[in-house]
Amino acid sequence: MLKVVENRQETWSEYAGPYPMAYRRRIAWGDCDPAGIIYTPRVLDIAMETLERWYVDVLNAPWYELNHDMKMGSPTVRCEIDFIAAPKPDEEIASSIEVEAVGNSSATYVVTGRDGDGHPYFRCKIVSCFIKRPEFTAAPIPNDIRKRMEIYRDACGEV
Amino acid sequence: MLKVVENRQETWSEYAGPYPMAYRRRIAWGDCDPAGIIYTPRVLDIAMETLERWYVDVLNAPWYELNHDMKMGSPTVRCEIDFIAAPKPDEEIASSIEVEAVGNSSATYVVTGRDGDGHPYFRCKIVSCFIKRPEFTAAPIPNDIRKRMEIYRDACGEV
Amino acid sequence: MLKVVENRQETWSEYAGPYPMAYRRRIAWGDCDPAGIIYTPRVLDIAMETLERWYVDVLNAPWYELNHDMKMGSPTVRCEIDFIAAPKPDEEIASSIEVEAVGNSSATYVVTGRDGDGHPYFRCKIVSCFIKRPEFTAAPIPNDIRKRMEIYRDACGEV
Amino acid sequence: MLKVVENRQETWSEYAGPYPMAYRRRIAWGDCDPAGIIYTPRVLDIAMETLERWYVDVLNAPWYELNHDMKMGSPTVRCEIDFIAAPKPDEEIASSIEVEAVGNSSATYVVTGRDGDGHPYFRCKIVSCFIKRPEFTAAPIPNDIRKRMEIYRDACGEV
């Protein structure tokens, strides 16, 4: 019988930098296609993983809790990606996230993936909206989340 | 604002063959790795897609309904895969499914992927258990599902 | 020992419609996330699979041949996606492709995913460039490919 | 125009432990399905990523070099997975690898994924063969790779 494991309770502390936050991960063999470079959609996978990590570390709103406990969600409504350079397997990407705009029930992010020398691999703009479940109708960004978004955005601005 | 679309209500009719059922799909460029052949884990993706389709067409128990409406689930507890030949991009695979065993709260399947000439690409044995949610404890296979499993198993035997 | 299977030689005939071409596929359980709807990057997977199929059926330039035999490639340089509605598992998507622009060594496509009633799930603009390998420098679109692109674009315009 | 970036030349030094090596990664939202737990095939993704990392760090034979420079490959011929517990999004998995057998042109590995307390999520046995390209016929394991496999296997045995 398969067990289900509850999320470990980790103590969260208010994010204290660096600004912008960078998510690091290796390009796997399976992220790449027979051309020997990253398969186009995997770039959006990396951008979304970056956003997911930021929700955990900076906003203290892991998507699982946002959906399950808070009966909310933050689906993507638009994205734009510029593919600047194509990583090969085993490259390490540092993917950083900045907040471009915080609206009433939506927010806009820019995620930039870079190589070890700081040269960009991609630039991805993501627009997410906030919804309440199960109605799936627009919901204002909760106050504590909004506050952390604005603090983070302002701190990045100073960088 | 992103809309959520409810599953279209399709009329299901009792499965009437062929036995075994075959799920067909192309190997995508993105299923393959820089060696130019299918990336190992994508074979398990295809086997699971075959099982998923069989739950819809043969058992009338789509996983979404099984989880959401029936408060059950059928997680995988074990699988064994023999990789016999490696497809390249754009190959069409016919992936057939047979029932090896039906237990009280678990079932064993054999999924075989073949090329257009009937030569095998892979053979995958999958053992699933049935659970009730949210406890995630073992549950007997519901009677109508069990009955359809047995009819299908017997019909395949005649093939 | 794992065998490698050569692509079956299928006879290609000049594409004769419909315009636009539509690629159909089911949303798999594994395409969806714990929110119960398609995971954002899987939309780009579907858009790219549509483009890949169009290269096979309409352009007679499967990506494997383009890369391996013709020593070329057509990497993505930009995409824009509008997420309009979110499909759930087992929905069938019809994803159609139109040509917006044909340049010297790049082309722009619009891929639109729709449900069974024709309502859009997503709209994805993709810009690809043509390159020669292994230099990975810009290359003009080969004449026969360009011609088929233009015939297709014009035929869609009449729809 | 999209650039392609060459793999950064990192200095490799002979692996010095720990034994077994552990690959760590978070379970992403997109690794999980609408049941709220990891989608079955993603477990094999994690096992293969562990094997890939071990080829880089321990064997000094990244798959890209093995394929591209050495004209070899190490495709999977069989795997067996026991799914013991199901992680949810954002769990961190430590996935360790042990060598069970080193043959003439094949090797057998056991990859075990564990949670932060050391409880197992999964156990995956992988059998790979070595081939030469482009013939895709069996090839003996190169001597330096074999030697490192055996040293690692023996060092793990002492753990």
Per-position DSSP letters for A64-76, written without gaps between them: HHHHHTS-EE--E
Among A32, A41, A129, the residue with its CB nearest the CB of B34 is: A32
> Residue A3's pLDDT is what?
78
Residue type, D17: G
> Residue A121's pLDDT is what?
98
> Residue C2's pLDDT is what?
76
Please tell me the distance in Å from D67's CA to the nearest CA on chain C. 15
> A90 and D62 in contact by Cβ < 8 A?
yes
> Residue D1's pLDDT is what?
66
> A77 and B36 in contact by Cβ < 8 A?
no
> B62 and C30 in contact by Cβ < 8 A?
no
- Put simply, whether C118 touches B (Cβ < 8 Å) is no
- Put simply, whether A57 touches D (Cβ < 8 Å) is no
- Put simply, whether B8 touches C (Cβ < 8 Å) is yes
- Put simply, whether B67 touches D (Cβ < 8 Å) is yes
Q: Which residues pair with A100 in a beta bridge?
A: none
> C4 and B53 in contact by Cβ < 8 A?
no
> Residue D11's pLDDT is what?
86
CA A111 – CA A50 distance, rounded (Å):
8
Residue D5 banded pLDDT, cuts 50, 70, 90: low
CA D10 – CA D25 distance, rounded (Å):
22
Phi, psi of B47 (to 5 degrees): -60, -40
> C4 and B116 in contact by Cβ < 8 A?
no
Tokens describing residue A87: 């990583």
Bond before B134 cis per omega within 30 degrees: yes
> Residue C3's pLDDT is what?
78
Q: Mean per-residue pLDDT for D58-65?
A: 96
User: What residue of C is the nearest CA neighbor of A51?
Assistant: C40
Please tell me the distance in Å from D131's CA to the nearest CA on chain C. 9
> C78 and A81 in contact by Cβ < 8 A?
yes
Intervals of chain C under pLDDT 50? none
Chain C neighbors of D136, CB-CB under 8 A: 2-4
Who's near B108: CB < 8 A, 6+ residues apart? B99, B100, B101, B125, B126, B127
Which of these, C158, D78, C44, B44, lies nearest to A47 by C-alpha position?
C44
- Name the strand (E) or helix (H) holding A21: none
> B136 and A4 in contact by Cβ < 8 A?
yes
> Residue A8's pLDDT is what?
55
- Put simply, whether A8 touches D (Cβ < 8 Å) is yes
> At residue D8, does pLDDT exceed 70?
no
Intervals of chain B under pLDDT 50? none
Please tell me the distance in Å from B21's CA to the nearest CA on chain A. 28
- The string of pLDDT tens digits covering residues D125-156 is 999 999 999 899 999 999 999 999 999 999 99
* pTM tops 0.90: yes
- The string of pLDDT tens digits covering residues A74-92 is 999 999 999 999 999 999 9
| B4, B40, B51, B68, best to mutate vs chain D, most D CBs in 10 Å | B40
> C41 and A42 in contact by Cβ < 8 A?
yes
> C30 and D39 in contact by Cβ < 8 A?
yes
Among C41, C68, C82, the residue with its CB nearest the CB of A41 is: C41
Token match 């770039």: residue? A43
Phi, psi of B2 (to 5 degrees): -75, 130
Interface partners of chain D (CB pairs < 8 Å, 3 or more) are: A, B, C
> Residue C113's pLDDT is what?
98
- The string of pLDDT tens digits covering residues B84-108 is 999 999 999 999 999 999 999 999 9
> At residue A104, does pLDDT exceed 60?
yes
